[in-house]
Amino acid sequence: MKKVRVVVIGASGYIGGEAVRLLLGHPEVDLVAVTANENAGRRLDEVQPNLRGYSDLVYSKEWPEADAYVLSLPHGGAMEVVPKLKGKVVDLSGDFRLKDPAVFERYYKTPHKAPELLKQFATGIPEINRGRIRESRLVAAGGCFASAAILSLHPLRELAAGRVIVDGKTGSSGSGSKPGEKTHHPFRSTSFFAYETFHHRHTPEIEQASGLEVLFQPHSTPLVRGVFTTSYVPLKRAMTDDEVLALFRQAYGNDRFVRLCKGTANVNHVKGSNFIDLGVAAHGTTAIVFAAIDNLVKGGAGQGVQCLNLMFGLPEEAGLLAPPAQP
């Protein structure tokens, strides 16, 4: 079988780098090019020394024709590039996650430059949208916080009795490879704080996919990798832990990358992997769902590769079954 020719556009950041790492180990993919502006002309392993011995690729500013393109560009970059591409596209940024251009402009503070494409993009969370992803040429992989929250809420969406509260924690790699005032190590290494109260960009993404009203509050933690969300769900009727866990088993029993348990999940148990660990608890008419993911893998490049597999009729787990690292 002929391998799928793939280009990663924007391959020198953390998520783009993870896409490269995963695709180099993918048995059905030929990674033919990697692009980057500032690093154009440099060898891949100069920028990503963890990949020494895996590839002789050199970063370029242009891309060749390919079967598929994985985009990991800064916000606003994908909407400029996607109209120029003829192959299948998996976008790892937020440019095409929201379907309503007015909502996009409200949360991203800029008009969308390709609004006609928004509804053409499938929501790239395979566990809830597998059929549409298989049929699509254009897929917008879910955001890190949003993916954890959406998968936490999906089995309970018909039982929720009101607004859901999602409390999120993230590691520093979620802010990208270029340090900012509140993301560089000396500031963040011993800090814990909230940010973007009431207007985080993942809020409308969670609401769009879950159909629920959501209050989402993110927090910065001293972690490097990891997203942990705690979702508080008011229920229409009293439920036990076992009843809630049964709902989640019914929803995700056949999903390779969802692992379920009673009680809390732990980000250390998913680090470096494409798994999401979901833990549940219930008391009376309140359910609590804990979710742990690696923000760069299941919350980024790994989910993108999972979508790519579906788009090309490949095994969904291809290139993604390396177990989490410990410690």
Question: Which CATH class name applies to 144-294?
Answer: alpha beta
- Encoding tokens for residue 169? 């924690």
Alpha helix stretches (DSSP H) within 30-156: 44-47, 78-81, 101-108, 126-135, 144-153
Q: Where are the domains of the chain?
A: 4-142+298-311, 144-294
The distance from CA 222 to its chain's CA centroid, rounded to whole angstroms, is: 20
Look at residue 190 in the predicted model and tell me its pLDDT: 79
Distances (CA, A) of 111 to 106, 203, 266: 9, 18, 38
- Each of the 327 residues of the chain gets a pLDDT tens digit; together they read 799 999 999 999 999 999 999 999 999 999 999 999 989 999 999 999 999 999 999 999 999 999 999 999 999 999 999 999 999 999 999 999 999 999 999 999 999 999 999 999 999 999 999 999 999 999 999 999 999 999 999 999 999 999 999 999 998 775 555 566 666 666 777 788 999 999 999 999 999 999 999 999 999 998 878 999 999 999 999 999 999 999 999 999 999 999 999 999 999 999 999 999 999 999 999 999 999 999 999 999 999 999 999 999 999 999 999 999 877
Q: Which listed CATH number (3.40.50.9100, 3.30.1330.50, 3.40.50.720, 3.90.950.20) goes with 4-142+298-311? A: 3.40.50.720
- 261 as an active site residue: the answer is no
In sequence order, what are the beta bridge partners of 167? Answer: 217, 230
Residue 206 dihedral angles phi and psi, to the nearest 5°: -65, -45
pTM (2 decimals)? 0.95
**Catalytic annotation, pick one of 4, 144, 206, 308:** 144
DSSP of 180-209: -TTTSHHHHTT--EE-STTT-THHHHHHHH
Tell the residue number behind the tokens 């049929």, with chain if given.
135
Amino acid at 39: N
The distance from CA 7 to its chain's CA centroid, rounded to whole angstroms, is: 19
In a 3-state reduction of DSSP, which class is residue 141? Answer: strand
